Chain A
């Protein structure tokens, strides 16, 4: 793709404050018409804020934005969208109670003065056509809540396409997609780009960014640190720019475990999600669980932890015996760090200290009476141990970056003696720096004898960290891989049901 001559979008010294915190500091950004421009940066670097400003979701405080050569004076999201700008989020912004067609048309404007009435027939035809172009086969009348996440993303895409699209912003779209779904998405994005739609792409997975984009802007702490042509940069360079320092590749220490069983799961079943799952974990072992989204991996962790109804099977801790309920699990030294921090792991509207203390009430209180001094003490200890960046322990967790939030979500368990750590997508939505810190923590903990059961969709993470991998498919164990059997391909084959190799159960 040749010279970037015509700029669709030009942002000049854009700044934005939330409260007293500056999120964007005089950012310049431009975008050519036939370009896929990626924005990378750690969490809290200001990527999302920048695209929110471009798409009109939040007003700009200082700075100018030129769209198609003319100054954009309005900040009404509706007008901006009508001028051909669309934003697709990580989580599809859809309306679960409405049908596909209704979702697509809901912001459509009746422009032609002739008829005030909306022509549903015509809209249905157009939508069907667009869906067919994207290779979707679901009906336009089915309710959106009955679709898979990938299909929902396609609906989101189609609703963006329905307008005369000039600029499409895609904010971390691949987080919850399977590899084949990612491929389909990228194909669509390329097709759009070829047809003249400028693309801004935000992604955490750098290999995807490198694969897709023409140009990359690196943001750090609200400032642009570099704008690189994709062909002229490498993953390592990007990481260095994003973090501002070198990050050692994760350790490739000898992956050995003690061979002493710490947890035994047998014939576990949770209706609708988990069926007949049996495995053992050793002390000092990291057991990876691979599989597609919806294969029942998170549900398996939740069932082990006692959060889900169990219709059959047993979970037995070598030290503490059978485990049925959450309380028992926790008192037996089992902890669960969930995938969705905001909904399941943290209390965003409460202080960091309260978040850290809530799992340690037994240690901080006596006879049900809280001891604030002890609470502060324990909170401080955990904050220091995990190097959580904060302004004060009474700060709300909401104000922390994704990586620091994940640290809090993990740290709250670690005042107690944790023998078995269940961790779900440890680096989802986490910046590169925090990610490596978390990986280091997992490795070290395993070395110290902790058993870790880790669910991950990040293939590299899964393969690098795990001693052994169980692959799940449709709620069952599709196979197990260990040692030299572990490879990306092997995991994928098991996950998609192409092979039943390995030491199957």
Chain B
């Protein structure tokens, strides 16, 4: 017998995403009260575009973590994609924008393929494999670029426009971000492929015995996060215009993983949603902007992120425990009825 939920409202409250949403509202209220200018539209839209890149990469990382893996190399992959794209654009100023985007996504996808092969066929734990490629790909960025950065005037205006021009009122950058989230949401909740991805994370041995192509799915999610990191590289270039071999995407993995974890994805795989990750990204964005806006000392800001992650996982964990206990009680009750 399934657990009957009393009503839609309690269902909503039990949803992990709702908790983050509430938390975001609280943060907004606090920041807004302390400094009403926080709500200025340009500030809010700037927060969104600053987390756009995070969302794109986070959408992919969610699926990777769902499969019990992790990709620490996303920052380097993003850097590699941006750098290759930037160099193509610098040498060929008339290269079509669409082509540049495709190039970046292919480069990202290749980095992802490398990770995927190492983890699936190479049987290397993802955390080790991608710790390695984090350094390897960064080294490759330096070799490829010959240590020379791409300056803003080498970046085509078409790319820059992705961050500024808006076909339907919101900039391309955000459209890409939302599309990535929607894509992951669609795949994970509507398609068989999505169910397989969750199945692999939920019970790897079971997945193999049910004939799911474990390696193929693993490679697929790594290529997917790579492609999205490549797209992230395009958006990075659009937003920051400078592509420095050392700086581009540096430390991104930390923010992305934080966002995914805050968004309720279980670090041990099997569960997690794109919506949660999106909200996690927004939460991080609001926090880092808001703390400066309300005048918190810059030295306290790193502490705040740490606290946030801890609080998020602690609350998540206690909720999950309580839910499991409810399930257990329900089973016992069911047996009594029988």
Contacts and interface: CB of A to CB of B under 8 A. Distances in A.
| A–B contact via C-beta, under 8 angstroms | yes
B303 interface: no
A6 B191 CA distance: 40
A81 B211 contact: yes
Interface in B254-299: 270-271
B191 A118 contact: yes
Given A93-B206, A97-B270, A118-B191, A146 B211 contact: no
Contact of A474 (B203, B271, B330, B332): B332
A95 B196 CA distance: 10
B209 A96 contact: no
A141 interface: yes
20 contacts: A78-B212, A93-B210, A96-B270, A97-B201, A97-B202, A97-B270, A98-B199, A105-B195, A106-B195, A106-B199, A108-B192, A118-B192, A120-B190, A142-B3, A146-B2, A146-B3, A148-B335, A292-B335, A294-B332, A474-B336
Contact of A93 (B2, B201, B203, B334): B203
Interface string B292-324: 000000000000000000000000000000001
Contacts of A139: 1-2
A159 B210 contact: yes
Given A98-B198, A105-B192, A294-B331, 6 more contacts: A102-B199, A106-B210, A107-B211, A118-B191, A138-B2, A148-B331
Contacts of B198: 95, 97-98, 102
Nearest to A52: B209
A144 B51 CA distance: 35
A294 to B, nearest CB: 6
A37 to B, nearest CB: 21
A107 B210 contact: yes
Interface of B: 1-3, 190-192, 195-196, 198-199, 201-203, 205-213, 270-271, 324-325, 327-332, 334-336
B132 to A, nearest CB: 24
Contacts of A95: 198-199, 202-203, 206-207, 270
A334 B298 CA distance: 57
Closest 7 CB pairs of A and B: A142-B2, A93-B206, A95-B202, A139-B2, A78-B211, A97-B270, A97-B202
Contacts of A94: 203, 206
B203 A106 contact: no
A55 B2 CA distance: 32
A272 B2 CA distance: 19
Contacts of B271: 97
Contacts of A474: 332, 335-336
B196 A106 contact: yes
A82 B199 CA distance: 19
A137 interface: yes
